[in-house]
Amino acid sequence: MDDLLQKMRSGDRRALARLISLVEDRDPAVRGLLSKVYNEREKIRTIGITGPPGAGKSSLTDQVIAILRGRGQTVAIAAIDPSSPFTGGALLGDRIRMNRHATDEGVFIRSFGTRGSLGGLSHATREVLLLYAAAGFDWAVVETVGVGQTELDIVDVTDTTIVVLVPEAGDTVQTMKAGLTEIADVFVVNKSDREGAQRMKADLELMVHLKDDPEWTVPVLLTQANAGGGVPELLAGIERHREVLAKSPRKAARRAEARKAEFLEIVLEELSERLALSLKEKDLSSVREALASGKTNPYAAALDLLQDEKALLAALRAGQSILKS
């Protein structure tokens, strides 16, 4: 572990990729390492980009990368794949658009699936951002497709959330008002040469003003990501938001909330692994058999265990070796 960490810090991308795989596999051995690098999290600037499929999020990310690289800054991308069997193919296609940066040492791109992790996507993504920070990147971009609830869960993970829309979605502004004004720090109307772009901008600006936030008025920006139009203004907006956030008491409150959530996620994930192990081969094997035969039901068995402190402790002891390894 320490060797991998050393290598990652010195710029070894394979070591970074290996550590990310351990995070994805929920390997408990990586938690000690994440504790060591935790305080470096503040050094990286993080952007979240979300929006419906086809809004041009990957093109926008691609252009943002180009500008940051032009300044000599390094960027790591976490592209979150909702891994739907119905949309899988299309997403892979999107990702290919960023490939022109694939040979650039200052850019790191990795896609993530969403299955398996107990704390869900936000938990694993936070851990990947810790690794990106420790690897020394200046910026991280988390790109999520807004097809389910994931784009809402992921919001707390980054400093600035950009919601990308296209003019075609204009008529749905009313229905999605609530959810989107909550999460957007910056709105982008992409493909702004299309009909209805100005109208959508006006609608969004109205929504934003209704929010009436004294600290930050969410800007609504027009872009044409394919040609790079409006992207420098987007980056300027992101940096302004960052400055406002840095001075805000909200930032400290958000950080404290995030730390509490992370703490709970880590403890629960570990307890979950221990219980599963107990159920498999140790103190809870009789519970397993009673469940399989139908002698008890899951609710009765759970309530019994929860009310029996000694049994609970024994069950939670089972996997301690996992932790120490």
According to CB under 8 A, which residues from 32 to 91 bind a second copy?
A: 32, 34-35, 38-39, 51-52, 82-90
Task: Restricting to residues 202-241, name those near a second copy by CB under 8 A.
Answer: none
Q: Which of 276, 281, 285, 286 is in the footprint of a second copy by CB under 8 A?
A: 276
> Any residues with CB less than 8 A from the CB of 149 and at least 6 apart, and which?
none
Give the whole-angstrom CA distance, residue 86 versus residue 71.
Answer: 39
- Which string of b and e fits 69-80 if b means at least 16 CB within 10 Å? beeeebbbbbbb
- Output the six-digit token pair for 180: 């989107």
Point out which span in 4-12, 204-212, 217-225, 311-319 binds a second copy (CB under 8 A). 311-319
AA letter at 105: E
Task: Restricting to residues 244-273, name those near a second copy by CB under 8 A.
Answer: 256, 259-260, 262-268, 270-272
- Dihedral angle of Cα 39, 34, 62, 229, to the nearest 10 degrees: -30
- In the complex, what is the shortest distance from the CB of residue 236 to a second copy, in angstroms, rounded to a whole number? 26
Of 74 and 125, which CB lies nearer to a second copy in the complex structure?
A: 125
Q: Which of 172, 217, 248, 285 is in the footprint of a second copy by CB under 8 A?
A: 172
- In the complex, what is the shortest distance from the CB of residue 63 to a second copy, in angstroms, rounded to a whole number? 22
Q: Which of 169, 235, 244, 245 is in the footprint of a second copy by CB under 8 A?
A: 169
Task: Report the DSSP beta bridge partners of residue 111.
Answer: 79
Q: Are 100 and 62 in contact (CB under 8 A)?
A: yes
Point out which span in 13-21, 31-39, 134-142, 222-230 binds a second copy (CB under 8 A). 31-39
- Output the six-digit token pair for 315: 């069950």
Give the whole-angstrom CA distance, residue 64 versus residue 180.
Answer: 22
Task: Restricting to residues 118-147, name those near a second copy by CB under 8 A.
Answer: 118, 120, 146-147
- In the complex, what is the shortest distance from the CB of residue 278 to a second copy, in angstroms, rounded to a whole number? 10
